[in-house]
């Protein structure tokens, strides 16, 4: 049974932040040594509910107090928005306040200017700066997710610590399905696709499609739909890739924090919509990614599909214990 430490939202800022420091100490922040990748999502441009730098700064300070050398990091996206290249992402990160001067540590886009990764399996490349660190602290803004139902630490590792090739491998299972009988040939899908993945006869090119779903959203005739069992299949891919990443990293000093605040139905890649799955809950910390995501899901509760598929699969693949003890700080 694994320990999951919990600080309620009411206590997050109480006692001048000392309770957060207690949470970090109990969870084992002292074991993050050497160069520490602080993996997070710094928010897509029109998102407003990403985890703000002021939550990250005291965590960075705690890492430094124990002698670790942190850098805040993430990787570029496969969809063409404002984090598609490292240069795009630096602009977005800085616009969102993720500045070395405000965090107290550098900000590095871990796959660099050329989507650089270390191949560790047929489909998985770990972003180089994450692979070459000595420890990792995975800070996740837990949310719902339009394709995987839940986005927690497993998704942060699987989708966030890898190159575009590996992101695309996971998104293979979200490619739209076309019903030719319903298609009117209006071409709205072709106009919205930024990846030139839809032919004149509206056939989707699997090599070009990244499974973003933009075409489904604009098709007024129901001719495009998500594949059957998409959530289940994507969750299994997330667990598979998270398992490969965690087992292939040349270090085992890993700590996970899930922030359960501003819990939106969609992840921080999505534009802000004033909608929440539930009221703010608090922050959870654990050395066990399975226990942590399971506890987070069971506190949030309010999902339309089963979000535990990824957790069960991650447990089956040896990433952690199914049972946990919730220890309130
Ligand atoms: S948007 Fe829908 S109806 Fe229009 S061309 Fe594309 S698939 Fe066909
Ligand atoms: S999901 Fe649709 S819009 Fe997105 S890349 Fe594939 S074909 Fe293009």
User: Which residue among 176, 221, 222, 225 is best mutated to probe the pocket of ligand 1, counting the most ligand atoms within 8 A of its Cβ?
Assistant: 221
Mean pLDDT of 292-309: 96
127 CB-near residues (< 8 Å, 6+ apart): 73, 75, 110, 111, 112, 116, 117, 161, 162, 163
Residue identifier of the C-alpha nearest atom 6 of ligand 1:
189
Full-model pTM: 0.95
How far is 142 from 237, CA to CA, in rounded Å? 18
Does the CB atom of residue 188 touch ligand 1 within 6 A? yes
How far is 69 from 216, CA to CA, in rounded Å? 44
Lowest mean pLDDT among 7-21, 93-107, 175-189: 7-21
Of the candidates 39, 12, 34, 37, which has an alpha carbon nearest to the alpha carbon of residue 23? 12
Does the CB atom of residue 221 touch ligand 1 within 6 A? yes
How far is 116 from 177, CA to CA, in rounded Å? 31
Does the CB atom of residue 78 touch ligand 2 within 6 A? no
DSSP state of 226: P
Q: Return the ligand 1 atom nearest residue 182 CA.
A: 3
Per-residue pLDDT of 155-213, as tens digits, reads: 999 999 999 999 999 999 999 999 999 999 999 999 999 999 999 999 999 999 999 88
Does the CB atom of residue 199 touch ligand 1 within 6 A? no
Indicate if 176-225 has the same CATH topology as 2-170+230-328: no
Of the candidates 147, 22, 192, 42, which has an alpha carbon nearest to the alpha carbon of residue 103? 42
Residue identifier of the C-alpha nearest atom 8 of ligand 2:
193
What residue spans define the domains of the chain?
Answer: 2-170+230-328, 176-225
CATH for 176-225 (3.40.50.12170, 3.30.70.20, 3.40.50.2300, 3.30.110.30): 3.30.70.20
Of the candidates 322, 319, 327, 309, which has an alpha carbon nearest to the alpha carbon of residue 25? 327
Which residues are paired to 288 by β-bridges?
none
Question: Where does 2-170+230-328 sit in CATH, by number?
Answer: 3.40.50
Does the CB atom of residue 209 touch ligand 2 within 6 A? yes
Does the CB atom of residue 216 touch ligand 1 within 6 A? no
Per-residue pLDDT of 238-297, as tens digits, reads: 999 999 999 999 999 999 999 999 999 999 998 877 789 999 999 999 999 999 999 999
Does the CB atom of residue 204 touch ligand 2 within 6 A? yes
How far is 85 from 115, CA to CA, in rounded Å? 8
Q: Exposed (0-12), middle (13-18) or buried (19+): which is 249, by Cβ within 10 Å?
A: buried
Give the pLDDT of residue 196: 94
């Amino acid at each position: 049974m694994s320990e999951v430490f919990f600080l309620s939202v009411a206590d997050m800022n109480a006692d001048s932040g000392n309770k957060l420091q207690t949470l970090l100490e109990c969870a084992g922040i002292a074991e993050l040594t050497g160069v520490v990748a602080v993996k997070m999502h710094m928010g897509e441009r029109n998102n407003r509910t990403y985890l703000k730098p002021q939550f990250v700064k005291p965590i960075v300070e705690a890492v430094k107090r124990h002698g670790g050398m942190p850098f805040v990091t993430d990787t570029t996206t496969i969809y063409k928005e404002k984090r598609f290249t490292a240069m795009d992402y630096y602009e977005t990160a800085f616009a969102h306040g993720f500045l070395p001067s405000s965090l107290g540590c550098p900000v590095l886009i871990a796959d660099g200017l050329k989507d650089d990764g270390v191949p560790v399996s047929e489909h998985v490349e770990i972003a180089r700066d994450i692979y070459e660190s000595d420890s990792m602290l995975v800070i996740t803004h837990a949310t719902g997710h339009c394709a995987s139902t839940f986005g927690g630490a497993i998704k942060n590792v699987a989708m966030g610590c890898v190159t575009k090739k590996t992101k695309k491998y996971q998104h293979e299972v979200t490619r739209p399905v076309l019903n030719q009988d319903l298609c009117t040939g209006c071409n709205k899908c072709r106009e919205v696709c930024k990846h030139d993945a839809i032919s004149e006869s509206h056939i989707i090119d699997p090599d070009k499609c990244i499974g973003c779903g933009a075409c489904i959203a604009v098709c007024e005739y129901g001719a495009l739909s998500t594949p059957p069992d998409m959530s289940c299949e994507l969750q299994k891919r997330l667990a598979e890739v998270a398992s490969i990443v965690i087992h292939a990293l040349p270090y085992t000093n890993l700590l996970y924090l899930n922030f359960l605040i501003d819990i939106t139905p969609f992840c921080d890649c999505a534009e802000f919509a004033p909608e929440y799955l539930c009221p703010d809950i608090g922050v959870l910390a654990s050395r066990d990614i399975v226990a942590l995501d399971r506890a987070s899901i069971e506190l949030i509760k309010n999902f339309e599909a089963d979000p535990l598929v990824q957790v069960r699969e991650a447990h089956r693949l040896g990433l952690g214990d199914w049972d946990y003890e919730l220890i309130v700080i």
